Every structure is written in structure tokens, then in C-alpha cells.
Amino acid sequence: MTISSERAVGRAIKDSGIDRKNIFLSTKIWASEYENENAVEETLERLGVDYVDLLYIHQPAGNWLAGYRMLEKAYREGKAKSIGISNFEGKYMEELETKWEIVPQFIQVEAHPYFTQKELRVTLDKYGIKLMSWYPLGHGDTALMNELVFAGLGKKYGKTPAQVILRWHTQMGFVVIPGSKNAEHIKDNMDIFDFTLTDEEMEQIAKLDKNERYYHRTDEQLVQFANWKPEFEK
């Protein structure tokens, strides 16, 4: 997406008539904004709010430590009720762990039954950081969706394989953010709280873990992220 959706989201919140306290609002500071000392205030202005419930930095690109210091400042000032990091894994997570002043409450990373972030979760569990899954359904991989275990569990519980996978995420303790523009799919994605997978069934799913991801970021991409500037609606 080349154009920030923050102003559109702000208009939607205003037009909804819903009390701000009943809306959980999350956004990210893009890498090219990490050295902009007014980035948080400009974000809040675009959204038309005094605070966000969760504020991320998007990538460990450019001067990401300056970006993280910005989050910590926003948290101290009450402009962000919680803070998070996105796509920080391996050496980047290890470095941040030695430099943060406030521990992030969330981390957004790729996670699904083929890639359960076992190594990263050792650190997350140590600090009580919640994992938010992106590519939760394996980036639409039919191989994952057609695994026999999901077909069997779907038949047992009257659910689709996708619903079984999303339920697995919640029982793993992950915050899960499946994306869809299809209204029926969005409803189905929410309809996962009327059944519970057993410990044995969770163990069956655990056997699918291949430690294989779909997204492979390169150092060249990090440079591109640091230099790419999103367009903000005026």
C-alpha cells in the first residue's frame, strides 16, 4: 500500500459514533519516519485521536533504535497505551533486548502451523511479550489448508480448515490477524470461539511444524524500507 490509510480510519472512527474507549486502534510508524521527532504527533493528527491503543515500528530498518525510543516516549506520555515491534527476529531481537528501556508488549511476525516461531518464543515467554501472527493461514498455501488433520478436525467440530487453524492460533496464545475483504470470510474468521481443541489435537498440529516460513526478507529490502516514504493524505 503506497498511501497511508490513517486519515480514512480516523474519518471512519468519527463517523461510526462509537465511543473512542470502545475501539482498539493500532498503527505503525514506518521506517523512513524513525528520525522524524514529530512522527507520533503527526500520526495522531491523521487519525484524529489523542492516543492509540497499540503503536508499532514496522521493520528493523534504518535507525530503528531511534524509532523504538520514539515508541517508549509515546508510551510514557500516554500517547500509546502499548507498544510493539514488527518483524524483529534473530540478531535484531537480540540487540533490542539489550537496549530497550521499556519492554514491548507485542511483536508482529509470521507464524502458522508450518512455522511456529519456537526459537523466538523463548525470548517472548521470558518477558511476557505477546506474539501477533501475520500470514496466519500460511499465505493461502493450499498444502497447509489441505492437511488431513485440519480436514478431520473441521469435520469433528463443524468448522472449516481455516477456522481450525485460527482456533489453534488462539490456543497457542497468539493474537491472530487474518486479512479478508470478503464479508462472509470475516464472519467465519470470528466464529472460532464455540469449540476448543484438545491437548491431543494441539499435539497433532504441532507435528506439522517444519520451521519453514513463506516470507524471506533480505538486507537489500531493509535498505529499501528505510528509504521508502509512504504518501500521507493531506
> Does 3 have pLDDT greater than 70?
no
Q: Is 175 exposed, middle or buried (0-12, 13-18, 19+ CB in 10 A)?
A: middle
Residues 53-109: pLDDT tens digits? 999 999 999 999 999 999 999 999 999 999 999 999 999 999 999 999 999 999 999
Of 234, 180, 217, residue with least CA distance to 31: 217
Amino acid at 88: F
Whole-number average pLDDT of the chain: 94
Using an 8 Å Cβ cutoff, are 101 and 72 in contact?
Answer: yes
H-helix or E-strand spanning residue 98: helix 90-99
What is the arithmetic mean of pLDDT over 123-137?
96
Q: Cβ atoms within 10 A of the Cβ of 100, count? A: 17
What is residue 82's predicted lDDT score, i.e. its pLDDT?
Answer: 98
End-to-end alpha carbon distance in the chain: 16
Residues 149-193: pLDDT tens digits? 999 999 999 999 999 999 999 999 999 988 888 899 899 999 999
Q: What is the pTM of this model?
A: 0.91
What is the arithmetic mean of pLDDT over 41-49?
96
